[in-house]
Structures are given as structure tokens and as C-alpha cells.
Amino acid sequence: MADTPKKIVIIGGGITGLSAAFYIHHDWPVSQNGLRPEVTLIEATETLGGIIQTQRQDDYVIEYGPDSILTTKSEGLQLVDDLGLSSEVVGIPATSRGASIWRDGKLRRISPQFPLGVPTDFRAWRESDLVNGWGRWRVWLDLMLPGDGRIARGEDASLETVVKKRLGANWFYEAVEPLIGGVYAGDPAKLSAKATFPQLADALRFHGSLIRGMKKWQQQRREVMQSSGVFERWPQLKGSSFFTLRKGLGHMIETLVTHIQKMGMSIQMGQRVTSVRKADHGYCVSTTTGHQYVADHVIVAMPNEKANAMFDLPFGKKPLLKRGDRASVANVVLIFDKSIVPALPRGSGFVVPRTEHLSITACTFTSQKWPHSAPTNRTMIRTYIGRFEDASWMNETDEQLVSRAVDGLKCVLGSGWTEPLEAIVNRYSCALPQYPVGHLDDVARLRTNLEVDLPNVEFIGADYDGVGIPDCVRAAKKIVQKLFTLYPS
Ligand SMILES: Cc1cc2nc3c(=O)[nH]c(=O)nc-3n(C[C@H](O)[C@H](O)[C@H](O)COP(=O)(O)OP(=O)(O)OC[C@H]3O[C@@H](n4cnc5c(N)ncnc54)[C@H](O)[C@@H]3O)c2cc1C
């Protein structure tokens, strides 16, 4: 009997699901008969990209969700390159790099020598006003304190446990927490160090000191970036930790979709998957529109607790992350007439420590960070609202959120920041997973259970292996590698 192609169903059309579909065909080893799997991607809504959504209008490129990709995690740039979008890559201009922390009525610059807020350079520390008083000096005790037995054994701990004891409470709350908490909009007392910022746990584990370990990590990262050829390819990324695309990250999604369709894969939109049941050979995937898809292999690239509900087997027993284990956040994009607002301070924006109780948690000077994203006579700013376990703002109207954003801005940048020409509010309910301590073990356990109870079903995406876009792409590529070995052509 002639070989028949394997049928793969991907559930979820965010960056994870789309990258998995793309790499199945892009990377699939071409065999003699060229037999590749048949791929169907099913998306519940009428739009692809999931959290990544870009609005392009007139001369504006407005990101609703993510606005940048880490340069140092290679899978983001690799995807852009594989999609043929290398010439579209934009770095942050040298004059707009670096962020500040708002504290005690002042914006305080974070030195590039403070990776994740850890001071790795004495001179930069001496010149910085990030932390004052005893807390400023206390930080160096890290070099003398004995190591932590649990961390040295490779056990997980919260970010707070890993950092606060080493650098002292002041430095932790004023310099580190706003940065690491900001990425997850989370609470470092609850977030797993190994799952969120493993470089911090590794610094302590392998170097007995955060300062020594992060200095080493920074050096190694610099060497890897130098030797990877990234800067020869994209000189604009030298010194820029993040990149975007000229037409926004939505361009990456549109190009993924074009490639996927050109490769002959099927994308079904507006169909919510309701169940995945074992069938004679493989699985039967049913959707709200009454369609049924037969699959040899199912890749589930959507939030975990919703995915769990689609299966009737007792695998995993309980969801990895519940709805309450996610932070709800909003951002408000404000567009001003450049001629009537004051000049922006240096840098790409600022973050606000919890202790400041400001109406916003962070702010990006978008038109300064990404000059291509707004006309030259406009200043575009994005303010952020909401943190884990602070959803007090969620019942507020859009008008109230805009007021919050403007109030926060006035407080930090001065009274000249009123009357935006336009304001766009984007809400993300339960969108940012909060990996608890032990998360990586939970994920490993879930996958072991899956292998027994639901062979050939994969759970990937932001709930499991990292929330950043490169993390999602890496997870997708890893599954594709697994498929190659399972189904050699
Ligand atoms: C506000 C915000 C800002 C961020 N900023 C950045 C940033 O600047 N840089 C960065 O690297 N990362 C950022 N992140 C994180 C990153 O954007 C996400 O982790 C990533 O996009 C998640 O992709 P995903 O494909 O795993 O999930 P999603 O994007 O959530 O996609 C899942 C898809 O599955 C679909 N789906 C759900 N249920 C079903 C069903 N039953 N049947 C079919 N389809 C279904 C959904 O409709 C959705 O399209 C940000 C996240 C947020 C919330």
C-alpha cells in the first residue's frame, strides 16, 4: 500500500501555532517521494496572530499587544529571516536606548551594566542614582554571603527568594522588582526563578553570587552575539536588545499565513475546537461549526485550562495554570501633537515599582523607541495598566482608563502632557501566565502524563516554555523536530 501523508491538526492560530505549521513544511527533510504531512490549523476567531495584533493606518504602526522581540533569543530573528523579512528588521536608535525607573518623584536611568537590575560594574554603580542610602551599599554583600543550598542543588525558588536576600530589600524593590516583575506584570514573590529568569538562578547556583554570575552571563551573551554574525547581518541591532519590523509584528503574522497557505496547508478560522477524542487511528477533532477533523497528531497551541476542557481523559488531572494564574493587563496608546507637548526624556520609556502606587505600571515612548511608527509631527506613547492580583481597573470604562493613563503621564513627565489627539485602549484579560515555583517540573509531569494517556498530543505555547515570542517559536520548532523523528519520510 502506498504511504499516505500523516495528518496533523494544530489548534490555535497565535504565534506558536503558526510557527509550528510554518516549520513543519519549511524544515521538513525532503525525501525521495517528498511525502509531507497534511496540516490543518484551526483558529477560534476570525483573526490570526492571537495576542500579536498590529494596526497600520496612515503613517502609524500601532501595536495592540507585543511591540518588540528580544534580539538575544535567536529564534525570533531566525523566524523573521526564514520568512524573508530580514530587510524589515528595525533596532532601537542609539539615542533612544535604555529605560528608567520612576521613584521618589524622579526618573532614574538603568545602566546597561545592570542586567535585570543586578549591578555588574562598580563604576556604573557609583554613577547611578537608582538606589540611595544604605540599600545602595548593601548590594555588595552579595559577593560575600554564603551560597544558597537549595539553589545550589538546582531546586526552584521564587524570584524574590533568589534576589532579595542577595542584594538586599531596597535594591530588590527599587531596582530589580520593577524590571523582572514588569515583564510578567507579576509578583516576584510567587514567580518561579527557573521558569522566568533562569539566568538569575544559574548565577547563584554556579557562581555563588548574583553579581559575579550575571557579569559572566552578560559576557557570554556578548560573545555569543558577536560570534553569531547577527551584527554583521543587522548592524542596526548592535546595542539594541530588542527589534521589531518596519510594518509591525503583524507583518510577521501576515507573512507566516502567506507561506503556510502557499505551502498548501489549510487554515480554518472562526471554528472553536470543542473536543478532541481518541478515534480508531489517532484523534477526532470537533469544532463549534460541526466540522470534524481526523488527526494522527494534534498540536494544542492555546491556553492550558481551556485546552484541558477539550479532552475527556483523566490525564494531568488538573490544569497546569488556572484562569486566576494569569495577569490581566491593559495598555493605552496616546497620540499627541508634537508641537504642543514637551520633549520626551532620553530612552525608550520607564517602569514603575509597586511601591510608588502610580495609576500606570510602565510607559513606552513609542515614537522615540520606534521612530517609524508615527508621523514626525506626532508623539506616540504607550502606557500600561494592571498587575497580577490587581484587576481593580477592569470594571473601568475606556474613558476612565485613558484618564488613568494621562494622569500617570502628567505625574511623571509633567503637566504639559494633556489632551491627546487620540487614545486607543487595549485590554488583555487573564493573558500573561504567572509561572509558579516548580512550574518546569509541573510541565514535565504533564508531558509525561500526556505520553501515556494521549500519545501524539502536544501542548505548547506561552503557558509552558516561556512567554516571549522567541520562546513560543522555540517550542514550536522543538515539536517539529520531534515530528521528523516520529514520521521519517
Ligand atoms: C499585552 C501583552 C504584551 C506582550 N508583549 C510582548 C513583547 O513585547 N514581546 C514578546 O516577546 N512577548 C510579549 N508578550 C507575550 C507574547 O505575546 C505571548 O506569550 C505570545 O504571543 C503567545 O502566543 P501563543 O500563540 O502561545 O498564544 P495566543 O497568542 O494566545 O494564541 C492562542 C490562539 O488560540 C486560539 N484559541 C483559543 N482557544 C481555541 C479553541 N478552542 N479552538 C481554536 N483556537 C483557539 C486563540 O483565539 C488564539 O488565537 C506580550 C503579551 C501580552 C499579553
| Predicted pLDDT at 36 | 81
Res. 389 pLDDT band, cuts 50 70 90: confident
- Whether the pLDDT of residue 17 is over 80: the answer is yes
List the domains of the chain with CATH numbers: 7-50+249-321+436-486 (3.50.50.60), 111-228 (1.10.3110.10), 324-433 (3.90.660.20)
| Predicted pLDDT at 31 | 56
| Predicted pLDDT at 324 | 62
What is the C-alpha separation between 248 and 468, in angstroms, rounded? 16
Averaged pLDDT, 179-198: 90
Which range among 105-114, 254-263, 384-393 shows the weakest confidence by mean pLDDT? 384-393
Tens-place pLDDT, residues 127-149: 999 999 999 999 999 999 998 88
The larger pLDDT score, comparing residue 125 to residue 387, is at: 125
Q: Is the CB of 333 under 6 A from ligand 1?
A: no
Among 369, 459, 469, 477, which residue has the most ligand 1 atoms within 8 Å of its CB, making it the best to mutate? 469
Residue whose CA is at the smallest distance from ligand 1 atom 29: 50
- Whether the pLDDT of residue 35 is over 90: the answer is no
| Predicted pLDDT at 253 | 98
| Predicted pLDDT at 291 | 97
Class of residue 343 by CB neighbours under 10 A (exposed 0-12, middle 13-18, buried 19+): exposed
Looking at the chain, the whole-number percentage of residues with pLDDT higher than 70 is: 96
Averaged pLDDT, 309-314: 77
Q: Which atom of ligand 1 is nearest to the CA of 463?
A: 26
Tens-place pLDDT, residues 412-443: 999 999 889 999 999 999 899 999 999 999 99
- The alpha carbon dihedral of 206, 210, 215, 219 has a sign of positive
Q: How far apart are the CA of 317 and the centre of ligand 1, in A?
A: 24
Q: Model's pTM, two decimal places?
A: 0.95
Q: Is the CB of 428 under 6 A from ligand 1?
A: yes
Averaged pLDDT, 35-57: 95
Tens-place pLDDT, residues 66-97: 999 999 999 999 999 999 999 999 999 999 99
Give the HSE-up count for residue 407: Cα atoms under 13 Å, Cβ half-sphere.
Answer: 12
| Predicted pLDDT at 186 | 87
∠ CA(346), CA(348), CA(353), 5° rounding? 100
Res. 64 pLDDT band, cuts 50 70 90: very high
What is the C-alpha separation between 423 and 131, in angstroms, rounded? 34
| Predicted pLDDT at 30 | 66
Residue whose CA is at the smallest distance from ligand 1 atom 6: 66
Backbone angles phi, psi at 169, to 5 degrees: -65, -45
List Cα–Cα distances, 354 to 116, 199, 230, 389, in angstroms. 16, 23, 36, 12
Are the beta carbons of 473 and 486 closer than 8 angstroms? no
The larger pLDDT score, comparing residue 317 to residue 423, is at: 423
Looking at the chain, the whole-number percentage of residues with pLDDT higher than 90 is: 81
| Predicted pLDDT at 344 | 96
Q: How far apart are the CA of 77 and the centre of ligand 1, in A?
A: 18
- Whether the pLDDT of residue 408 is over 60: the answer is yes
What is the C-alpha separation between 415 and 412, in angstroms, rounded? 9
- Whether the pLDDT of residue 318 is over 70: the answer is no
| Predicted pLDDT at 1 | 42
Q: Is the CB of 302 under 6 A from ligand 1?
A: yes
Q: Is the CB of 432 under 6 A from ligand 1?
A: yes
Q: Which atom of ligand 1 is nearest to the CA of 467?
A: 19
Res. 32 pLDDT band, cuts 50 70 90: very low
Res. 313 pLDDT band, cuts 50 70 90: low
Residue whose CA is at the smallest distance from ligand 1 atom 2: 65
What is the C-alpha separation between 163 and 172, in angstroms, rounded? 7
| Predicted pLDDT at 268 | 98
Question: What is the pLDDT of the chain when averaged over all its residues?
Answer: 92
Q: Which atom of ligand 1 is nearest to the CA of 431?
A: 53
| Predicted pLDDT at 452 | 85
Averaged pLDDT, 14-26: 96
What is the C-alpha separation between 185 and 114, in angstroms, rounded? 20
Tens-place pLDDT, residues 445-458: 889 888 888 899 99
Averaged pLDDT, 390-410: 94
Q: Is the CB of 335 under 6 A from ligand 1?
A: no
Averaged pLDDT, 199-224: 95
